[in-house]
Structure 1
Amino acid sequence: MIDLCYQNNKACVFSAADWETLRKQYRIVGSFLGSTQVTPALPLVLLPEEVCLLVNKQLARIIHYPHLQDLPTEHDISEYSAIQNHLLQAEQDIYKENRKCDLEKIIDKIVEGKMKKSNATTNVKTREEILEEELNKSCEVTNETMVWPILYESVKSTQGTPTEVPLAEILQQTTPTKCAVYADLWEKGYYITPGLKFGGDFLVYSGDPAIFHAIFIIRCIEEPSSNNHTSEIVTFGRLGTSVKKRAVLASLINGSVMYITLNWLET
């Protein structure tokens, strides 16, 4: 059973092992909240529809740690600063050593170039001085540029006993139609991610999104019997064609998920 940590109205995964299980075994992608400058990192936040699927299939439970909402104390801030400084110093040392190995392979050429540029052999710095100078120029690692390692510790070990969150709390963030559409697509073997950037609710992939492009843009229609403006449907269909994906309208009718694919034909 995977624990989904519910904080600030988001269901998150902090364990790398759980993230791997969700991705490889259950085709649950989620979105990374953390970042090491340019590299996504844990925690992973899940869509409400992903959470509903996992809970309904008894693959996960939603838990809440009240102490995670506590503001950091002066001791916490001091401890964090000490860890950051330790990591920064270690990274500076490692980077400088690696850079030194690279420079030593070409230092003779650098020295020769500096001597030619000065047009003299006197008052030229020694090989060791030039090496140190080059190291100092290219080995500046700061708090802003350092790469944080992915460190994590089980939340259970530090935050006491959690309380279980009812699924109804998550259902407030979505709709029965979206949950049904997501579950139906998942049962068909697809990978699903948010589709907002393409004007839909979901993007659907035939394989892992790290390897495959999306093939469908899904827009959920909550009230299929209501009048949907023609211009919106036309725009959505043209959008799908322009990004080389099938635009699909999905609705929940009498307990079954129904799909309509929009095709744009040039005349």
Structure 2
Amino acid sequence: MIQIHVLQGAALVWSAEDAREIRERFRLVGTLAGALARKPRQNTRLGLPLQLLPEEARLLAELGAAVLVTSIETQLLAEGEESTQASKVEAYQQELEENYQEQQRLAAAERGALLAQLADHIAEGRARRREQRGETADAVKDSGLLDSPFVLPHGSMMVQLPTAQCHPGRVKQVDWTSPSPAWPYAGHPAHETRYQVFRELWGRGYYLSGGSKFGGDFLVYPGDPLRFHAHYIALCCPPGTPLPLCALVAAARLGTSVKKTLLLCSQSTDGAVLFTSLQWSGLQ
């Protein structure tokens, strides 16, 4: 069962295996929102957690493939739990020290092999510098660099940062059918319309992602977004909510300028999802 951690409306997946299953099995894209451990100051490529749209998280919950959970506030540890926690910390520190010693050994061996390979070049360079300074050339090879001790700085040590655990802490299940601070969408008219549109298009085999960058609710792809461009910009219109003419014209012109079709999505009185596509006739 996939665990989706929700925090103030944000649906996050921390497990790499779950993120892969969500994309390959359920055709849900999501957005990677975490920084890479080796390059935390860049935002070109991101990593876990995978942030899902509210509609994606609800769809997985309705299909029975996932459960929404939220963390329980940390409570004071009981007497027996304190000693257990201390032993876990001690074991973790010991494992870190063993990893450091292993990396120290491997780095020293790699440095020694590189210096041995460059020993002749180093000796030639030193001889040229002695000759330039007018010193007597020493026929004995200087091996001081090869024999010098090597210490790996602790700051250069590679540390594994776990992003998913079998027991990530105390969690409780969130009821996605009723509103709560962790899941405020339940029963909201705009969310209900968006979800019905999302499920209808997903059920027809399309891939969907957030469409805010093009002024819509969703971008609709004929296949995996890694291989296809979006064909439609889906704009959801909740029942009874007016759509100003200037907003409609702006959305249609934006869709045309990025070579996509604007898809107006709404629900009829019987709950069926209706679609209306708009394109500028001059571009036909």
Q: Same fold (TM over 0.5)?
A: yes
Residues 183-241 of structure 1 show CA distances to partners (whole Å, capped at 9, x for unaligned) of 011101111111111211111222222333222221112247735223x2222222223
Residues 25-71 of structure 1 show CA distances to partners (whole Å, capped at 9, x for unaligned) of 1112222232232553322222111122222222222223313x679
Verify: 1:60 aligned to 2:57, yes or no. no
Aligned length: 257
Q: What is the match of residue 244 of structure 1?
A: 259
Q: 5+ unaligned residues in a row in structure 1: which ranges?
A: none
User: Which residue identity is paired with 1:52?
Assistant: R
Change (3 A) 1:127 1:257: farther
Given candidates 167, 185, 193, the residue that maps to 1:177 is 193
Change (3 A) 1:242 1:42: same
Q: What is the match of residue 178 of structure 2?
A: 168
TM-score, normalized by length of structure 2? 0.66
User: Which residue identity is paired with 1:168?
Assistant: S
Match runs of 1:42-121 below 5 Å: 42-67=48-73, 96=107, 100=111, 107=118, 111=122, 120=131
2:257 and 2:154 map into 1 onto residues whose CA distance is 43
Change (3 A) 1:45 1:120: same
Q: 5+ unaligned residues in a row in structure 2: which ranges?
A: 77-84
TM-score, normalized by length of structure 1? 0.70
User: Which one has the largest radius of gyration?
Assistant: 2
Q: What is the match of residue 189 of structure 1?
A: 205
1:104 and 1:210 map into 2 onto residues whose CA distance is 45
Change (3 A) 1:108 1:7: same
Verify: 1:209 aligned to 2:244, yes or no. no
Contact 1:64/1:163 (<8 A) preserved: yes
RMSD value over aligned CA atoms?
4.5
Identity %: 28
Residues 43-102 of structure 1 show CA distances to partners (whole Å, capped at 9, x for unaligned) of 2222111122222222222223313x679xxx99xx6x969x769958975995797599
